[in-house]
Chains A and B, each alone.
Chain A
Amino acid sequence: MMVAIFAALLLALAAAWLGRQTIAIACLIVCLALSIGLFLFEIYSPDYGFRMPWIQTQLDGVAPASRAPRA
């Protein structure tokens, strides 16, 4: 996958440099789509999904009333 991303990117850059706009844009869109797909694949965990439970976002041992936002 990563090889395909860099190959599409190289083609896009070379086409842009040579003034082949249509090919350049097409290759760049392929590169971006593959990059987003790979990014989502890399950050997905079978256990957590896309969540990050190691980042504490809740207050432990604090009464619910005191957690209410101060208006």
Chain B
Amino acid sequence: MTAATPRMLAWMNYGYLLLMMLVIAAILTTAMVLQYGWGELPCPLCLLQRVALFGVCFGIIQTFRLGDSGRNSGLSLLFAIFLLVVSMRQSLLDIYPRPGHAYIGSAVFGIHMPVWCVLIALALLIAYSLKLALLDGRDARAIPLAEFPALSHAAKAAGACVIVLCAINLVSVVVQCGFDACHTSGYRLLQAVQ
């Protein structure tokens, strides 16, 4: 082993996490585009799936800020499992066609959103498993993100992007649900204005 190996491992670890966060940000952006571009209102369980995706990002942002640790990975994994549970339950809820229960929104490549979320949750769990199996090392963990200026700037920008996305989602939830229970019948605040 050369002296450069832990540094390279740390660089790969941070780069891998940054890539994961960018993919999650892209998924959340797609959800917003489908909501406002295609007029597809999210159901309460769909919104909880977004919360779970933001939760995974939380662990990654913590890692960027404080360094890699089991706690941060654990938090991300916790939200990935929450995403799997919620999306699995929603898929089972709508799996059998009956009045009042159909898959929310249109299908993308023939697969509806809750089923996509099951696949996304599994992909996140596999991605985290690979990270822990291949990119984890005690020496690499000791190297902070600040050691890699370009990666650090990109991580800060990606983190800010996720926070802005979350703020947009918060405003969107206020417009859709007000301060009451959420429904997929329309935007509650806009209906109140009209």
Residues in chain A within 8 A of chain B (CB atoms)? 1-3, 5-7, 9-10, 12-14, 16-17, 19, 21, 24, 28, 31-32, 35-36, 38-39, 42-43, 52, 54-55
Chain A contact surface mostly: helix
A10 nearest CB across to chain B (Å) = 5
- B124 adjacent to chain A (CB < 8 Å): no
What interface size band does chain B fall in?
35 or more
Residue of A nearest to B75 (CB): A28
The one of B78, B96, B166, B182 in contact with A13, judged by C-beta atoms closer than 8 angstroms, is B166
Residues in chain B within 8 A of chain A (CB atoms)? 44-45, 47-48, 51-52, 54-55, 57-58, 61-62, 65-66, 75, 78-79, 82, 85-86, 89, 92-93, 95-96, 98, 156, 159-160, 162-163, 166-167, 169-170, 173-174, 177-179, 181-182
With a cutoff of 8 Å between Cβ atoms, the chain A residues found around residue B170 in the complex are 3, 6-7, 9-10
Contact of A3 with B166 in the complex, beta carbons under 8 Å: no
Measured CA separation A42–B156 after assembly (Å): 35
Contact of A10 with B82 in the complex, beta carbons under 8 Å: no
B47 nearest CB across to chain A (Å) = 6
Contact of B98 with A54 in the complex, beta carbons under 8 Å: yes
